[in-house]
Structure 1
Amino acid sequence: MVAEPEDVWRRVFSYLDLVYNSAVLDRYRLVQLAGAMGDPTGHKKFESISAGSKDSWIDVFNTPLRKAWARRYLDYIGSERLRVMGYDKDEIEQALSSRSKVCMPRVFSDALFMSIGALHAPLDLSGAKRQLLRSVSGKRCYAAT
């Protein structure tokens, strides 16, 4: 999408039966994201749609715990679903393995917050109620891990 935005957006507009207007790509800077997180770096770093930060996600996975979590999540999603979304599981796993720099202070905070999360999930009564209602209705339940 960022490598060839014009082509991708033409196809998106076509799929939605909308008339494509290239000005959509030019108005990137005018978009204001009103959520709590917004877009903390995109608007400041880039004047237009750019592939400049496409690979920056890997910097977040700088502890063994984060890498292990990412691998479990990739296994959960599976190669086929990733392929449908345009990703190659082996390439992502290779990128995770190639990241050797470890941020030690984050190892301890990750361990703490992952432990809290593991304790919170079984005690989350609203989540348990939701899962129970789904199981009774026949919908598939996904446990928080």
Structure 2
Amino acid sequence: MNKTVSPIFLFSLPRAGSTLAQRILATHQEIATVAEPWILLPYLYTLKNNGCYAEYGYSNLVTAVNDLLNEFPNGKDDYLAEIHDFILKLYAKTTQHKTKYFLDKTPRYHLIVEEIISMFPEGKFIFLWRNPLAIIASLMETWDNGKWNLYEFKVDLFDGLTNLLKAYKKYSSKVSAVRYEDLITTPEFEWQKVFDYLELEFYPERLDSFNRIQLNGQMGDPSGIKHYQSISKAPLEKWKLTLSNPIRKTWCRRYLKWIGKERLTMMGYDFEQLLSELDSIPNKLKNIGSDFVRLNYGIAYCTLEPYIMAHKIKLIPDWYKIHTLS
């Protein structure tokens, strides 16, 4: 008899504390997981009209897939049903016989969050929020040693957050939501609610044993696993050290205003309080020159997409291999 599992999807922006949450959830014997599967992105992107570059011609792929779907009795619904069953079979192959859930934690699922919730009616969905200022600081510290790099995460900070909030508002009655700050300040209370939502027992001892969980796979948090072997409140204030120069503070004010009071409230944060905390940080000149250069480079980066150009430049010795990507 084939094993069956139900999916848990942990939705968040990158650097929101999802790896900590994943490891605590994985302490339960009925939850299997790997670092970050990413498996649903290519399949659901066959239905999107933009967002990919491919040697085979992405726009032609979408047209061809839609032509195929037109021949199915129930069109796109048949296609999504087959993807649903296929993905659950793959999840089941990673689990033990009596495992109830497979936890898929892939931050870029914010690009397909509504499609996932709609496709998996039997699924459980956890939205993890974090102070956006702390996320910004962590993006810089984790991948560029504190240097300005937010142009690399534009899709997360803007499209991703918009998609998550839209989906949370639409499906709030069937999902669970928690703030990272609450998970580390009142962990027993918050984790009890999460496990109740999953219909699994919770023992406080799980909060002391998550450091023994090893996540298989190359993706995921490169720093938190090494630095935090127990629940720590240190990250609550750490972001202020990173966002202390005038350029960063100005950018962050604009970002908070872009999110807006209503959407911040939906996430559990107060707009005025975040602004006040940001304004209270003493101004420093550290990285200000580098930030100015990198801000302007970011404009070119987002416009010209140099990683694609770099690929083409590498092919110049074999000029006949250079072709357009669509």
- Which of the five TM-score ranges fits, normalised by the shorter chain? 0.7 to 0.9
Q: TM-score by structure 1 length?
A: 0.72
| Partner residue, 2:203 | 21
| Partner residue, 1:143 | none
Following superposition, the deviation at residue 36 of structure 1 comes to 6.9
Partner AA of 1:115 in structure 2: N
Asked whether the equivalents of residues 265 and 271 of structure 2 are also in contact (C-alpha less than 8 Å), the reply is yes
| Partner residue, 1:134 | none
| Partner residue, 2:109 | none
Q: TM-score by structure 2 length?
A: 0.34
| Partner residue, 2:295 | 114
| Partner residue, 1:38 | 222
Asked whether the equivalents of residues 245 and 286 of structure 2 are also in contact (C-alpha less than 8 Å), the reply is no
Instruction: Evaluate the alpha carbon distance shift between residue 36 and residue 52 of structure 1 in structure 2; reply closer, same or farther with a 3 A threshold.
Output: closer
| Alignment partners' CA distance in 2, 1:109 and 1:32 | 37
| Alignment partners' CA distance in 2, 1:95 and 1:23 | 34
Instruction: Evaluate the alpha carbon distance shift between residue 121 and residue 23 of structure 1 in structure 2; reply closer, same or farther with a 3 A threshold.
Output: same
Aligned counterpart for 1:95 among listed residues 277, 281, 306: 277
| Alignment partners' CA distance in 2, 1:110 and 1:27 | 40
Greater relative CO, 1 or 2 (CA 8 Å, sep 6+): 2
- Structure 1 segment 119-130 matched on structure 2, within 5 A: 119-124=300-305
Partner AA of 2:187 in structure 1: P
Instruction: Evaluate the alpha carbon distance shift between residue 37 and residue 50 of structure 1 in structure 2; reply closer, same or farther with a 3 A threshold.
Output: closer
Asked whether the equivalents of residues 29 and 43 of structure 1 are also in contact (C-alpha less than 8 Å), the reply is no
Partner AA of 1:39 in structure 2: S
Displaced runs of 4 or more, over 4 A: 32-37
Aligned counterpart for 1:84 among listed residues 253, 258, 266: 266
Q: Structure 1: which 5+ runs fail to align? A: 128-145
Following superposition, the deviation at residue 5 of structure 1 comes to 0.3
| Partner residue, 1:48 | 230
| Alignment partners' CA distance in 2, 1:125 and 1:111 | 19
Following superposition, the deviation at residue 65 of structure 1 comes to 1.0
User: Any idea what SS the aligned residue of 2:184 has?
Assistant: coil
More strand per residue: 2
C-alpha offsets along residues 66-115 of structure 1, whole Å, 9 cap, x if unaligned?
1111111111211122122221111111111111140x240000001111
Asked whether the equivalents of residues 185 and 233 of structure 2 are also in contact (C-alpha less than 8 Å), the reply is yes
Instruction: Evaluate the alpha carbon distance shift between residue 31 and residue 70 of structure 1 in structure 2; reply closer, same or farther with a 3 A threshold.
Output: farther
Instruction: Evaluate the alpha carbon distance shift between residue 43 and residue 113 of structure 1 in structure 2; reply closer, same or farther with a 3 A threshold.
Output: same
Give the total of aligned pairs.
123
- Structure 1 segment 62-81 matched on structure 2, within 5 A: 62-81=244-263
| Partner residue, 1:141 | none
| Partner residue, 2:85 | none
Which of structures 1 and 2 has the bigger CA Rg? 2
Instruction: Evaluate the alpha carbon distance shift between residue 6 and residue 36 of structure 1 in structure 2; reply closer, same or farther with a 3 A threshold.
Output: closer
| Partner residue, 2:105 | none
User: Any idea what SS the aligned residue of 2:231 has?
Assistant: coil
| Partner residue, 1:132 | none
Q: Structure 2: which 5+ runs fail to align? A: 1-182, 309-326
Asked whether the equivalents of residues 28 and 49 of structure 1 are also in contact (C-alpha less than 8 Å), the reply is no
| Alignment partners' CA distance in 1, 2:210 and 2:266 | 27
Following superposition, the deviation at residue 21 of structure 1 comes to 2.5
| Alignment partners' CA distance in 2, 1:15 and 1:4 | 17
